[in-house]
Amino acid sequence: MDKDFINIYNLIQELSWLFGAHSINGECCGDLSLVEYMALKKIKDSENITIQEIGNALNFTKSGASKIIDRLGNKGYVTREISSVDGRVCCVNTTAKGEEMASEIVHRYSAYVYEMLKEQDAATIENIKAVLEILVNSAHRQENTLNGKYSQGGGRMSIFEMNN
Amino acid sequence: MDKDFINIYNLIQELSWLFGAHSINGECCGDLSLVEYMALKKIKDSENITIQEIGNALNFTKSGASKIIDRLGNKGYVTREISSVDGRVCCVNTTAKGEEMASEIVHRYSAYVYEMLKEQDAATIENIKAVLEILVNSAHRQENTLNGKYSQGGGRMSIFEMNN
DNA sequence: TGTAATAGTTGACACTGGAAACTATAGCCC
DNA sequence: GGGCTATAGTTTCCAGTGTCAACTATTACA
């Protein structure tokens, strides 16, 4: 039983590494790092997201988030506008170019995943999807119970503070 | 059909992020970064591994790998000895402390995974394991077909050079 | 023996993200 | 309205990290 979870942990770790910043994603896509891509994706999926929200979503300080948006802005993938309702907050949105880049990356990697899995039958593909959904949902739930409130540093807990 | 692979890609991406360097692993364990932990794990699993091999396995240059081993050495987790058969190569091995630290990390994260998945029944757990094995194996296979030979820079290909 | 190849190390460098100080706006209370 | 506080974001300084290129040391081979 315990063995199963060790096993699953090791497999997730391995998979994460293979899809993480040091592997195929090392340079995620031309001029985007993995972090920048994740931010771009988040911005694309939310209308008028703020710097702070991006930071919280990706576990960066607002300082770090601001710099990531700088980079994305310099590359022409996002715009930064001052909110019309509150002069302190920035509304970040993707440009057409940013939108296109995000789609391109998804397309490329999906093709990669297709190459990976093309020999699997339809039922297996469905099953893979179902399992990944369980994992992602459980991980999100677990993340939420772990994370406290966010201060500048995004008061996230290390797993090592969990229960000692 | 195509939709399935996009879906799966997005889920893997999400899961990888959640287990990647910027999330719970931000500080993987006290004084180890994710990269250092991956190296430690690799060293633990192979007898007398060389710097170069570590670099290749983790997609680092030999220079980068050398510095990671420096750090692990300074923290007392690994030893570096000159090979008895070839005076140029280093044999890296874990110390007892390193061994213990690696186990501790696995233990901690397995507990985390257990918390994540404790509500799933036994059949689901088995299924999760099976799916992850498929994914990890396919990803490794795919990685090998993508990567060319390793030079200093570990001549890995960006996914964007795949077919254009 | 001398030249080329190979493993590893080192130093200079660029990039990244955090902490803290700072700017600017908003909210509130008198 | 004036003044205090809170909040969003930016900027400066800094430490950590990994690459490149030059270097050392050892081995292989002609």
Q: Are residues B100 and B124 in the same domain?
A: no
- Spatial separation of the C-alpha atoms in residues B16 and B37, rounded to whole Å: 16
Q: Are residues B92 and B25 in the same domain?
A: yes
Q: Is residue B163 assigned to a domain?
A: no
If DSSP states are collapsed to H, E and C, what string results for A6-31? HHHHHHHHHHHHHCCCCCCCCCCECC
Predicted pLDDT of residue A21? 87
Tokens of B70: 């420096």
Q: Is residue A96 assigned to a domain?
A: yes
Least Cα separation, residue B4 to chain A (angstroms): 8
Predicted pLDDT of residue A130? 98
Record: contact A131-B127, CB cut-off 8 A: yes
Contacts of A127 in chain B (CB under 8 A): 127, 131
- Spatial separation of the C-alpha atoms in residues A41 and A34, rounded to whole Å: 10
- At residue A26 the predicted structure's pLDDT band, cuts being 50, 70 and 90, is low
- Report chain C positions within 7 A of protein CB atoms: 6-11, 16-21, 24-27
What would you measure as the largest C-alpha separation in chain B, in angstroms?
55
Residue nearest C26 (alpha carbon to C1'): A86
Q: Are residues B68 and B144 in the same domain?
A: no
Nearest to A132 by CA among A38, A34, A12: A12
Q: Are residues B36 and B73 in the same domain?
A: yes
Residue nearest C5 (alpha carbon to C1'): B88
Q: Is residue A139 assigned to a domain?
A: yes
Q: Are residues B25 and B96 in the same domain?
A: yes
Distance A27 CA to C7 C1' (A): 27
Complex ipTM value: 0.89
Q: Is residue B153 assigned to a domain?
A: no
Nearest-10 Cα torsion for B136, B142, B145, B146: -110
Q: Are residues B98 and B29 in the same domain?
A: yes
Distance B59 CA to C4 C1' (A): 27
In chain B, where do the E strands start and end?
Answer: 78-82, 90-94
Q: Are residues B54 and B89 in the same domain?
A: yes
Q: Is the CB of residue A82 inside 7 Å of nucleic acid strand D?
A: no
Q: Are residues B46 and B74 in the same domain?
A: yes
Query: CATH no. for residue A40?
Result: 1.10.10.10
Distance A46 CA to C19 C1' (A): 29
Domain boundary among B82, B105, B128: B105
CA torsion sign, B56 to B62 to B63 to B65?
positive
- Spatial separation of the C-alpha atoms in residues B83 and A21, rounded to whole Å: 32
Contacts of B144 in chain A (CB under 8 A): none
- At residue A24 the predicted structure's pLDDT band, cuts being 50, 70 and 90, is confident
Q: Are residues A144 and A77 in the same domain?
A: no
Compare CB distances from B16 to A19, A60, A110 and report the shortest one's residue. A19
Say how many Å lie between the first and final Cα of chain B, rounded: 23
Q: Which residue out of A1, A2, A3, A23 would a mutagenesis test of the B interface target, given it has the greatest number of B Cβ atoms within 10 Å? A: A23
Chain A residue whose CA is closest to B158: A24
Q: Is residue A49 assigned to a domain?
A: yes
- Which of left, alpha, beta for B154 (phi over 0: left; psi -120 to 50: alpha)? left
Q: Is residue B72 assigned to a domain?
A: yes
Distance B64 CA to C11 C1' (A): 13
Predicted pLDDT of residue B71? 97
By residue range, what is the domain housing residue B70?
21-105
φ/ψ (deg, to 5) at A20: -90, -170
Predicted pLDDT of residue B149? 31
Mean pLDDT of A112-141: 96
Q: Are residues A67 and A98 in the same domain?
A: yes
Q: Which residue out of B11, B56, B143 would a mutagenesis test of the A interface target, given it has the greatest number of A Cβ atoms within 10 Å? A: B11
Burial B18-41 (b: 16+ CB within 10 A, else e): bbbbbbbbbebbeebbbbbbbbbb
- At residue A128 the predicted structure's pLDDT band, cuts being 50, 70 and 90, is very high
Q: Is the CB of residue B118 inside 7 Å of nucleic acid strand D?
A: no
| Ordered per-residue pLDDT tens for chain B, 164 residues | 689 999 999 999 999 999 998 887 666 778 999 999 999 999 999 999 999 999 999 999 999 999 999 999 999 999 999 999 999 999 999 999 999 999 999 999 999 999 999 999 999 999 999 999 999 999 999 887 765 433 344 445 555 555 43
B21 and A146 Cβ atoms separated by less than 8 Å: no
Number of domains in chain B: 2
Q: Are residues A91 and A138 in the same domain?
A: no
Q: Is residue A161 assigned to a domain?
A: no
- Spatial separation of the C-alpha atoms in residues A17 and A9, rounded to whole Å: 12
Compare CB distances from A128 to B110, B124, B134 and report the shortest one's residue. B134
Predicted pLDDT of residue A115? 94
Record: contact B2-A110, CB cut-off 8 A: yes
Q: Are residues A90 and A122 in the same domain?
A: no
Q: Is residue B80 assigned to a domain?
A: yes
Distance A66 CA to C19 C1' (A): 14
Predicted pLDDT of residue B153? 43
